[in-house]
Amino acid sequence: MLPTILDLASLKAAYASGLTPLDLVEEVIARRKASDDPAVFITQTPDDDLRASARALVERAPEPNSLPLWGVPFAVKDNIDVSGLPTTAACPAFAYQPEKDATVVARLKAAGALVIGKTNLDQFATGLNGTRSPYGAPRSVFDKAYVSGGSSSGSAVTVAAGLASFALGTDTAGSGRVPAAFNNLVGIKPTPGLVPNVGVVPACRSVDVVTVFAATVGDGVAIRKVMDGYDAGDPYSRKASPVALAGSGLRIGVLDGAEREFFGNKAVEALYDQAIERAKSLGATIVPFDYAPFRQAAELLYNGPWVAERLAAVKDFIGTNAEDFDPTVRTIIEGAKAYDAVAAFEGQYKLGHLRQKALVEWEKLDVLMLPTSPTTYTVEAMLADPIVKNSHFGRYTNFANLFGYAAIAVPGGFGSDGLPSGVTFFGPSFTDDALAPFADAMHRAAQSGMGKDKTVNLPEASKVAEPDDGLVTIMVVGAHLTGMQLNHELTGPGGKLVKTCRTAGDYRLFVLPNTTPPKPGLIREPGFAGKGLEVEVWKVTPAAFGRFVQNIPAPLGIGKVTLDDGSQVSGFLCEPYAIEGAQEVTDLGGWRAYIASRRG
């Protein structure tokens, strides 16, 4: 029996145990018919066509799991072309029959994935809420009174409801992230240009991105990698090399008090604070930063000349079919008439200045962690105030593509109101893979399940491993701690702080006599019942580690030290003979506290 959520690991295990693609297709057909949200799909792949696709896959690749996405069902936002199904962009008068698949769809099909249908969206991908469609408004899988998020509304719901293993969306202002937060999913937003847009109806062509909704970060990254790759047919496609980050000791930028805005939603604010604490527990260094330049850039997307790019995408059609537009969408797109070519250049200049200000903030950060959306609303409330309330959703999303960032949105738990929320991790261009390990760890630590199944554990098979960065880990306990006399011996060669933590409880700390500056002696005494000692874990290059060890004076040396979480790292230890007659400072809890006591 298949689980509620069709994550890749569970589906692959089922195929290995005898499930066939045709069996899977019959289950998907049954689930589509039983769905309680009639607004999710615009066009479903006909049942017999879906069965034929499953048979054709087995003929092409008879061995189970012999292709990366063998027999994996997926849905496609209806502004992305799928051969054999109409593309409407949620505007019936605009509909056309594409001659071939969009590049990303073709690549996914080649990898063995099966298209189950085209999903609903805010018309012409203009909106973040999911209510701007003549095909109806998909709803949150947790409360039908609430919006699903948009513009990739139907795509998120298909995954969260267990109709598809993953779904494609698009993201200009946050459409691949906000619906993920509202439906307890992962949203993968690639660096602009990493995934080609050939065969995609544009919203703002220069910043549009095809995205993935998935049950786990591991699933989303694996799917994105199938879609990656340069395509000369897309004028904004880019050949890229992955960019690394610091690893588990990330410096994570979070909102300070001045820029915090949750529009009165205390539940979402509390979940954001919990996410910050969760990041700390995973070894991150939390750094408040100035969000102002990012917010000001975000405002340009709808309150600046980029609105004219939305008009450019549909200028011929709106000239003859203005009455066929959703009224709110039409108001937004026709607002482009207020901007001319001069305004477009002035907007670029302003964005450039804001980018420079943002770079100042990046000097102290590795990634940003922001609320995916600061609040949510009912469908009724959204329809009553569609532009203002929609803008609230984009407060922490709109800047991403203008600045060229990679982003991964992950679930962040459920609030006191029973609704989910989430956080998004942002990194510089092409940090797409580097963001994944910590984002995955945060999803797992939140223990919020996948989609509408809030209690299921995330499969270990989808866990994203830390990349091998070639660095050596070392624990320090004394003068090499951050801010102390010898810390430069770590930072000088480019060392990175991984985390501040404590040893296991059976370690004791002494002040070695006749040492300048004073040096600590750390020894282990099995059976000693202490509370552990404050230490830091760093990463350095092998060459720096070698020089470091070579210069360690007796009676100190490097050995394996057990931390309070049970893990072991190489770190400073002292030969027991040297502590005879030495002052014990174990009760102070660490060397930093001892130094502070001396100053006092």
Coil/strand/helix, residue 77: strand
Nearest to 328 by CA among 518, 130, 158, 516: 130
Active-site annotation holder among 12, 77, 189, 499: 77
Residue 50 has phi, psi (to 5 degrees) of -65, -40
Strand 534-540 vs strand 41-44: parallel, antiparallel, or unpaired?
Answer: unpaired
The helix (run of H) or strand (run of E) holding residue 272 is helix 266-281
Active-site annotation holder among 155, 175, 237, 462: 175
Q: Give the CB-side neighbour count of residue 417, counting CA atoms within 13 A.
A: 19
The helix (run of H) or strand (run of E) holding residue 298 is helix 292-302
Coil/strand/helix, residue 307: helix
**CA–CA separation, 367 vs 361, rounded Å?**
10
**CA–CA separation, 319 vs 224, rounded Å?**
36
151 is catalytic: yes
Question: Which of 465-469's residues contact partners 24+ apart within 8 Å by CB, and which partners?
Answer: 465/437, 466/247, 466/248, 466/437, 467/244, 467/247, 467/433, 467/434, 467/437, 469/244, 469/247, 469/539
**Residue whose pair of structure tokens reads 């962040």 in the numeric block:** 412
Active-site annotation holder among 53, 133, 151, 373: 151
**CA–CA separation, 500 vs 491, rounded Å?**
15
Tokens standing for residue 184:
């307890």
Question: Which of 355-363's residues contact partners 24+ apart within 8 Å by CB, and which partners?
Answer: 355/293, 355/297, 355/403, 357/292, 357/293, 358/293, 358/294, 358/297, 358/403, 361/253, 361/289, 361/290, 361/293, 361/294, 362/428
Helices (H), 374-431: 379-384, 386-393, 399-402
Interhelix angle 8-16/21-34, rounded to 10 degrees, is: 130
Nearest to 358 by CA among 427, 305, 422: 427
**Residue whose pair of structure tokens reads 């901007």 in the numeric block:** 339
Tokens standing for residue 245:
């980050």
Residue 63 Cα to chain centre, angstroms: 33
Nearest to 127 by CA among 386, 305, 359: 386
Coil/strand/helix, residue 346: helix
**CA–CA separation, 188 vs 506, rounded Å?**
44
For residue 111, give the amino acid letter: A
77 is catalytic: yes
Residue 393 has phi, psi (to 5 degrees) of -65, -30
DSSP 110-159: HTT-EEEEEE--SGGG--SSS---TT---B-SS-TTBB--SSSHHHHHHH
Tokens standing for residue 255:
């909102």
Nearest to 175 by CA among 198, 200, 199: 200
118 is catalytic: no
**CA–CA separation, 410 vs 187, rounded Å?**
7
- Known catalytic residues are 77, 151, 175
